[in-house]
Structure 1
């Protein structure tokens, strides 16, 4: 194996590298996820302004883990850290910091705090592994050189990405548009004509608000471009006349599509019918209900945001396209997570179990109650035989330990909330 890093070319240094540092690098690779969580948790305490919401926390977790894995690979292969580019997720964080109006000094402090935390972890591993004083000193010197060179290069590249994005931001209309969107969503902007001028988007039309996101940055391809394609697909299906897209961070965008003709619930049904064609692979999208004018633009965005929150709780069971209309009850009922979890488990009992068989029974029962106990309509929606519906409903009643002919309101609400239960439980564990 060719050694790039000059400090490792001496025979003694190569021996310590193989004996001490390569195993530490392998351990860093294996522990990258846990290390990232600990580092970001500390950043949340030290720099709370950098983490306004759960999405930003998740983005920084992805970015930090990718950087740790890259550093571990550099040490394991004795590469020169000065020649490497940052992971795409890390560069995306730097660029999105401009859009979120994060100060460059705060971004740089994030790197310094992360560097300190990683060094402490490496120091502990090296001193525990290298018993010989001379080997320990050599290993610490090599590790220090690698870490500081990597951190210095990372900070330079992050600062460059930030400055390039800032230049684009300041020279374009993005800042004005972002300020206008903020005032509209906060309810401070009430003049539709002025809002249209600032947004360069006609407000006095019919809108559908949406939020598109990816769980992590792809290896190839620009995230914002991919998410923009999702809005292009949505606009095409709805025959929309204009589109407005606004970055929410490195992995998500919010936006609206609009047209002069009325947008109705039936139009959203059409979108759901071609969801796989409308949404690019790897992208998820949450939709609000149609709205008109300035207030409608604000309301449909709020609804899309609620739909996205439910989608994050439900996970992939919710599919790639989530309508607020379909999850409105769950959105209303899961704002208090502890209360929601307690309500679901109390009402459903064993029917709230997380295995696929029980979940299928619960899903069938939910549709059966929505269809006013019609086996035929339930079977049509689930594409099964009516006898299958009857069988599953009887099984669900056995699991519940009661008939579904009484107390149906609590039961229907709990069933509507059920897909979010794993996410509610997971969020509770993280908070603890």
Structure 2
């Protein structure tokens, strides 16, 4: 790669440094993207851009929750915010560089937003929030690194360059979003997606026609599960893991529906006539970090819908547990807890009211709570024996 001359007065961009320790291998962007940027500006400014891109993704998911939903969607969003920060860094330092403002990582995220059903106005708001975070970072660094006699002019120029950048970036994102939406709407996957969502919403449907579209018999007995990727797994693992789980439960046919790039909804037809009998799955040995939440079996369209709702409640509970969550979560095992998790503020109030100081997060409290629980259990058993 031919080294381009830094724009006059923009040498300060090569002095950018992250606020905290940032490893280059923690980047969400592609390796070629990172290497390309390092070749232009060096490693430390790239570390700074990785840090800024992460902060932008955090802000966007906090302000627009629809972009959230676990580590997979967050990393997809972060690919776009980080790669865009890397690209803007190069374009600010080297205006002569013949680079498009949009990156392939950002376009990949754009297509994912369509498949997840995120509206265009939300995407555009996310872009505005990202631009605000990027501008704050670059202008703040400019204020720290540029001499006072030329600071005002430099901040004005950087601000104008960033507005031009984000304007072109937004145009490209809108064009790709609309093109992907057209492709998605006309695809067979979209027809299945739409049919499943109508069933789950309780809409009045023609069950025979829906069965034909899905190639899956809605009249039968179903078990639903939801699978999602962990930190060390790939989306390509989802279908394989879901199929293995359903096969272990005895499923004779399956329906798989990707939800974005990091989650999967799945159903399997189970043998037998009992509407709610719980299957006893054989242990599934996994070589990948995929999490699964299962509902209870149910018959017909209502059972299809109810089993999915139960799996979704179990999934929500597992996601709340974070890194402590087991690889598999069965609704049958956590149904009572999921009811509490439906209203977290009330659940927290209940715990604080019942436990008082024992609910505090100090190092000694877990031991005290365990001791109290054992003491109450012993007294309960002794009282039972006395009454007997």
Any conservation in 1 of the 2:219–2:301 contact (CA below 8 Å)? yes
Any conservation in 2 of the 1:207–1:300 contact (CA below 8 Å)? yes
Q: Which residue of 2 aligns with 1:29?
A: 50
Any conservation in 1 of the 2:52–2:134 contact (CA below 8 Å)? no
Aligned counterparts of 1:41 and 1:397: Cα–Cα separation in 2: 35
Cα pair distance change 1:101/1:345, threshold 3 Å = closer
Gaps of at least 5 residues in structure 1 are 45-50, 362-394, 409-432
Q: Which residue of 2 aligns with 1:249?
A: 260
Cα pair distance change 1:402/1:109, threshold 3 Å = closer
Q: Which residue of 1 aligns with 2:142?
A: 126
Question: Does residue 181 of the first structure (1) align with residue 201 of the second (2)?
Answer: no
CA RMSD of aligned residues (A): 4.1
Question: Does residue 93 of the first structure (1) align with residue 109 of the second (2)?
Answer: yes
Aligned counterparts of 2:165 and 2:331: Cα–Cα separation in 1: 48
Cα pair distance change 1:199/1:146, threshold 3 Å = same
Aligned counterparts of 2:318 and 2:98: Cα–Cα separation in 1: 39
Aligned counterparts of 1:401 and 1:227: Cα–Cα separation in 2: 41
TM-score of the superposition, structure 1-length normalised?
0.66
Q: Which has the higher helix share?
A: 1
The structure 1 residue matched to 2:328, chosen from 279, 303, 321, is: 321
The alpha carbon displacement at 1:284 in A equals 0.8
Question: Does residue 259 of the first structure (1) align with residue 262 of the second (2)?
Answer: no
Any conservation in 2 of the 1:39–1:114 contact (CA below 8 Å)? yes
The alpha carbon displacement at 1:101 in A equals 4.0
My pick for the range that moved more, 398-407 or 232-241, is: 398-407
* Residue pairs, 1:32-71, within 5 angstroms: 32-42=53-63, 44=64, 51-52=65-66, 55=69, 61-71=74-84
Aligned counterparts of 2:370 and 2:132: Cα–Cα separation in 1: 57
Cα pair distance change 1:155/1:404, threshold 3 Å = farther
Q: Which residue of 2 aligns with 1:415?
A: none
The alpha carbon displacement at 1:37 in A equals 2.8
TM-score of the superposition, structure 2-length normalised?
0.72
Aligned counterparts of 2:171 and 2:380: Cα–Cα separation in 1: 60
